Structure formats: structure tokens, C-alpha cells
Amino acid sequence: MDLFPSPHEYFRNHPGRPRKRLGQHFLAQPKTAEKIVEAAAVKPHDVVVEVGPGLGALTAHLVGRCARLHLVELDRDLVAFLAQRLASLGERVRLHAQDVLLFDWDHCVEEAGRPLVVVGNLPYNISSPLIFRLLENRRRIDRGVFMVQREVGERLTAGPGTKDYGVLSVLLSLYASVESLFTVGPKQFYPPPKVDSLVVRFSFLDREPDVDLEDVRRVVNAVFQKRRKTLANGLKGAVPMGGEALRRAILRAGLDPQDRPERIPPASFVDLVRALKSESP
């Protein structure tokens, strides 16, 4: 659709400039935008949520491909711009002027009657919090494609024993299938960021661990906050039990209390959560 100007054109004709506090870097390459949308494999019956549509680089390729498109944008100037550009499309496109971390996924799914597809060029400053939010709402979401800072993207797909392996790696591998698609260089954005970006695709698994997500997250957070310490030392004070009970729980999970967290595979963290619960007073 020819509804949306390039970032250079927009800022030439409108007051203001990209807001650093919102982490704004606008994709200026239409072919890359189209490639991202194609990776989401949007079908005519899908309901899509686009995170941070900005000046509509992805929106231009989403409109017309899905049953309904929800745009979640925080920048008040961009909301006004999008509202004016999209007015002729009626109820097919709905604009939400809010922080996506506060978005009502429940209401959106109830209205759609099906799990959602989520896409977005994510502002670097909300990538990790948003991914945790999506995990919390995983039963409402079918799949998603995101462009994130390369460093974040590498953490999403990292395996045990690598420097990028951490909390996001563990949790996503337990609840989703995640793959790295392609890199996007700084010159494709306005203004150009100082780092590369990475496009990743994920779909949430039908079968998931029989433990509570928050319990897993609590344990994984505790040990990776002290990733240089042993497993036993990392959990000390983070779980309500004495040293001997903690040691028994770790051994029951088939782990060594002297292990480092970056060497422990995701499934073993699930075993550890179960073992800790069995030893809890």
C-alpha cells in the first residue's frame, strides 16, 4: 500500500525527530519489511498484532493479508499520523495508543476467537520485557516474527555452554520453537543504530513442562544472576530451605551442586523445580 512515507520523507515534512527514549530506529528498506512479513506466513483468517508500527514499514505489507490488524503504538505523534493514514480502512485495522507491555491480550483473543500472530520491529529497550510478556500470554499467541537487537536475538536461540545462554534461552526453549532467520544491518534504518539487528521466528509449543512458568523463571533468574557461582551457591537464599535440603534437591534433579548454570540444559531446570518443590517445607 502507498499509504506510508519513508522515514526520511516523514521527518522532512513533519516536526520532531526519532525519540531516543523510545528506542526508535525506523526500517527504511521496503524489501526487508516485506521479507519479515512473509516470514510470518500470515493467512487471510489470521488476526495480527503489530508491535510498534512506527511509520508503517511492516503495516504496509500486513494490511490486506489478514482478517484484522491491531497496531500497538506508544508515540502520540505516530498514533496521530497512523490514525489519519488508516482512517479509510475502518474496522479492519484497529489502532491502540498504549504501551504494548500493558496490552490486553485476553480481550484481543476473545474478540478474534483464535490465537494471534504477532510481528514487530521491536524497540531495543523493550525487547526482553516484551518477550517475557509474550511468554506469560503464550496460550493466546500462535506464532510471531520479530526484529530485535542482534545480541538479544542470539540469546533467544543460544544453547547450553555458550556465552549467550541465559534466562531467555532457557525459558523460550521450554515453551517455544525459536529460529534465527536473517541479519539486518544498521544502514537499513533511520537513524541507523550502532548494532546489527536479527529477525527471529517463534511458535509456542502445544506441550509444555508440567511446572509453573513463574517457578521456573524464579529459579532460572536466581542462578543466572550469579552465573559465576555454583548452582548451590546461586540458589542459596533464593529458595526457602537450608543448605542440606537444597543439596538433596539438586542431586535429586540429577545435577551436581558444583555445576555452573550455563552448563545446565533447559529440561534439567524443570527437573530442578520439581525437586525443590518436593524438598520445600
pLDDT, tens only, 105-137 = 999 999 999 999 999 998 878 899 999 999 999
Predicted confidence band of residue 18 (pLDDT cuts 50, 70, 90): confident
- Burial (0-12, 13-18, 19+ Cβ within 10 Å), 68: middle
Q: Are 243 and 236 in contact (CB under 8 A)?
A: yes
200: β partners = 146, 180
pLDDT at residue 281 above 90? Answer: no
Q: What is the mean pLDDT of the chain?
A: 94
Distance CA 100, CA 5 (A): 24
Ramachandran quadrant class, 112 (left: phi over 0; alpha: psi -120 to 50; beta: rest): alpha
Distance CA 29, CA 7 (A): 10
Q: Are 246 and 232 in contact (CB under 8 A)?
A: yes
Can you tell me the mean pLDDT for 73-85? 94
Q: Whole-prediction pTM value? A: 0.93
* Strand ranges, E, within 37-168: 47-51, 68-73, 93-97, 116-121, 141-149
pLDDT recorded at residue 279: 85
